Structure formats: C-alpha cells, structure tokens
Amino acid sequence: MSRQEDLNVIWKRIFWIFIALLVLAIAVTYSLPDYKVPFIVCIAGNVGGYVGFHRRLSILTDPEIENLSRSWFALILPSFIGGILAGLLYLLFLSGVIRGDLFPVIVPDDDPQCLKQIFNDIFCQHAEGYAAYAKLLFWSFVAGFNQDYVVDLIENIKGSDKKTD
C-alpha cells in the first residue's frame, strides 16, 4: 500500500477508537456519577493523546506509517498514556503540589454519601466553578497532547524534593 492508503487506514481506526471512547465516556458518566470528574479528566487526556498523535503522523517515515497501519495497539496506546498522565496531573492538583492562577482549584463534594466509601475522597471532588473546570480540561488535554509535559513536571517535583533534603 502507499503512504496515503496507510494514513487512511490509520485515520479510520483513530476515528472508530475515538467514537468508542466517547460512547464509553457517556456510559460511565451516567452510570457512575460520583466518578464523573476523574473520568472526564481521563477522557480529555485521551483526546489530547490522539490529537498529539495525529500531529506527529506527518513527521513519521513511510515504514513507520506502514507499521502503524497494521497495529491497533500502537494506535490505542498514545490515548491510553494520555489518560493516565491526565489522571496523574489531576492527583497533583488534588494534592496541592501544583497551584497558581493558571491551574484549577479542586474542592470536595458536599454529598456525604459519596465520602463513605474507601478512596471516594479522591474521586468525590470537583472543580471550583466554570473557570476551574475549563482549566482542568485544558491541562488534562495538554497532559495527553504533550505527554512529556507531565513527565518533566514529575521530574521537576522529584528534583525539588531532593533539594529540600
């Protein structure tokens, strides 16, 4: 196949993976309302992962494009990693390690039922207002789009921790 045919296969697969991801997001959002915010963070990271992956396609060689067109796993992996990194960034926001005007403020939910289960205090959180939600979604997208950003951020936190010892 030609490069263009391989790219067409990749784009079609990415589209169907994205549709499956949206259906999963809608299903989880309605079936597990307590976990809505962390799941939406993960989805934003997934979307960022796909957009970043799509942008990088133009710089790949023909053999790399050919190999990608044959592998579902290689197409799913960038999104999966983007979701994980967005989740890690969410935990950094929750912990207060990252703060400032550019970052969202995360506050606990008011629902006492939500906090009665183990680990729900991590999941039963929400952003403080519309601006904070916009920041949360933006940074979650960035975590997937530029996956090096979160990894570098973690490295910087690790480095600053060593300096305080």
Regarding beta strands 125-127 and 106-108, do their DSSP bridges make them parallel or antiparallel, or are they unpaired?
antiparallel
Mean pLDDT of 108-126: 68
Element (H or E) spanning 145, and its range?
A: helix 130-145
Residue 29 clears pLDDT 80, i.e. is over it: no
Mean pLDDT of 58-69: 91
Beta strands (DSSP E) in 14-163 are: 106-108, 125-127
**Structure confidence by residue, pLDDT tens digits, 143-159:** 999 988 888 888 888 77
Say what the pLDDT of residue 81 is: 92
**Structure confidence by residue, pLDDT tens digits, 2-24:** 989 999 999 999 889 888 888 88
What confidence tier does 26 reach under pLDDT thresholds 50, 70, 90? confident
| Under 8 Å between Cβ of 17 and 75 | yes
Say what the pLDDT of residue 36 is: 77
Domain ranges of the chain: 3-164
Instruction: Measure Cα distances from 86 to 15, 26, 67, 129 in Å.
Output: 21, 18, 27, 19
pTM as predicted: 0.82
Residue 92 clears pLDDT 60, i.e. is over it: yes
Say what the pLDDT of residue 116 is: 61
